[in-house]
A and B are shown apart, each in its own frame.
Chain A
Amino acid sequence: MAEIVIDQVRKAFGLVVALESIALRIADGEFVALLGPSGCGKTTLLRIIAGLETQTSGRVLIGGRDVSSLPPRKRGLAMVFQNYAVFPHLTVRDNVAFGLRMAGADAAKIDKQVGSAAELLHIEPYLKRYPAQLSGGQRQRVAVARALAVEPAVLLMDEPLSNLDALLRLEMRAELKSVLQASNTTTVYVTHDQTEAMGLADRIAVLHSGHIEQIDKPTALYRSPRSRFVGSFVGSPPMNFLTLPVQSGKVQLGAQTLAVPAGAGASVVLGIRAEDLDPAGDGLAFTVRVTEPLGSHTLLTGETEGQQVRFIAESDARPAAGAVIHLRPRADRITWLDPQTGMAWEAAHT
């Protein structure tokens, strides 16, 4: 039972502002991913929640309690670190039991909770080993088990999968999701990998140079990015952006005429995902430059109206470079953006 409230938290390292007045409310049991490029402040924010870093101003509340000036041990949370930070001088069992021992739990409780955490993460065979005898993936499991064994109200994870190889990462991601769904713990998860954030989180907060650019459900974030930055950072390939001239409140896309939001100026930016373009005889002319067969689909990169566009075609499509395809964007999947501010029209004008 712990809701996290981040109340106007600001962090400056000398003259460098790492976080500017972050306000964020994470509901009890919710899984929120902090997503952003390196240096956006996501790790700093997580460390402030953990109490490993002190905010310059603002408050952090966990479960209604102001923990702003409490040391990490008094905040009732657990954390999984990027490099695991599994204690090398303790056996796996002692590592998993560490938090419980520090909390002064009795032997029976320690045995029970260590046992169930070990079972959950399939590390029972290694309980007597030392971390040096484990692989990276196994150490990662130990780190997660150590965090879950204390049955924390809040679980913080700092890029926990980034040191694993691609296949193992995919496997751990699915496992992590099922484990965390069962435990119903409020989770804050820092990552720079947008697929990880999309796959795991209930909501994603996209951070950009020290502020939250947008916070929403993964699909909403993907479909209606609030800004050019979100559209190009979330999703692979990034969203297409076409700057188009506006004539009497409309833009012309081949034979298709679309009404732009009221109040748009001489030009407007149309944002559309690569998979939301349909081949149509009377659509926009798209000149193919590069064809990348990716198995499940074929990614085409080319030009429309002199601007770069990516288009996801079906997996057997093999157009030659220079071929022209006509494409029509799905009207209900279009995001209109202001060319000056780079913000989505609804976000900037409502």
Chain B
Amino acid sequence: MIVRRTLFLSGVAVLCAWTLAPIYLIFLGALGGPNLVAHWPKPFVPFAMSFGALRYFLDIQGVWTATLYSVEAAALCMLLSIVLGIPAGYALARFAFLGAVPFRLMVLMTRAFPVAILALPLTVTFIRLGLYDSPVGVGVMHTTLALPFAVLVSASLFQAIPNEFEEAAWVFGCSRVSAFFRVVLPLALPGIAATAIFAFVISWNEVFAASVLTVRHRTLTAYLLSVLSESPLHVQFAGGFLLIVPSVLFVFLVRRHLFAAWGISSR
């Protein structure tokens, strides 16, 4: 009993350290000022907390516009992934159609295709389509990265919902469509929210495609990559810190929806 408990707690400790330590180091670098960045060993709490680096970073010209572009691209990516991914996932979960297995595999295979190879043709195509150098273009590109996850995750979400719920809905007066919206969707909602956030975070964090596909209308990551390489280290940390804040906040906000579904608390 004690051994199991110790194992469990040490597992929790290792996982916490794994996620929290880098975040904490970035936090120190961002708030500790220029001296602390080069200092070792690091103090546990930055005694001379200063928001100087953050303010300096936020005052860099174009950061706010870039943030707005990032949000636009990420929101579009999230929206498209959900709108396209959920019907595909539902089809995979509920219908035994010809080629379901190859389709599932193909969806996954798209992730195996390196974006670097696509960079040039993609740029040319986007210029032709008028999508180049716009958050919409970046959002569409990011959708291709997030969509496979959206499809496969929502397929397993729907698979986990017993058929009988849907059949009961049909018997008690629902059409196929209304049964989906009244019964299946509410049951899958926590998982769909997680998928949506995941799509948002994929787009928010993506830097390569965003750098290739934009010149003046850069998303935050792409913008920082080009600007921060010439900035002092603590400002780079400040940039990194501000980049991870939205992801962490987002996950915290929807945490309740992810884990506490319909009166069943996470145990």
A residues touching B (Cβ–Cβ < 8 Å)?
50-52, 71-73, 77-79, 81-83, 85, 87-89, 98-99, 102-103, 130, 132-133, 146, 150
Contact = CB atoms under 8 A, between A and B. Distances in A.
A78 B167 CA distance: 11
B167 A52 contact: yes
Nearest to B173: A102
A83 B162 CA distance: 10
A330 to B, nearest CB: 47
B171 A72 contact: yes
A73 B174 CA distance: 6
B173 A85 contact: no
B172 A102 contact: yes
Contacts of B171: 50, 52, 72-73, 77-79
Interface string B201-232: 00000000000000000000000000000000
Interface string B176-204: 10100001001100000000000000000
B167 A89 contact: no
Interface residues on B, range: 20 to 34
Q: Among A73, A81, A83, find the residue whose CB has the most chain B CB atoms closer than 10 A.
A: A73
Nearest to A129: B263
B164 A132 contact: no
A89 B182 CA distance: 10
A71 B164 CA distance: 15
Contacts of B175: 71, 73
Given A73-B173, A85-B167, A98-B172, 20 more contacts: A50-B171, A71-B175, A71-B176, A72-B171, A73-B172, A73-B175, A81-B168, A82-B164, A83-B162, A85-B168, A87-B165, A87-B168, A88-B262, A89-B183, A98-B173, A99-B172, A102-B173, A130-B262, A130-B263, A132-B264
B126 interface: no
A346 to B, nearest CB: 40
A78 B172 contact: yes
B170 interface: yes
Contacts of B187: 87-89
Contact of B263 (A99, A102, A133): A133
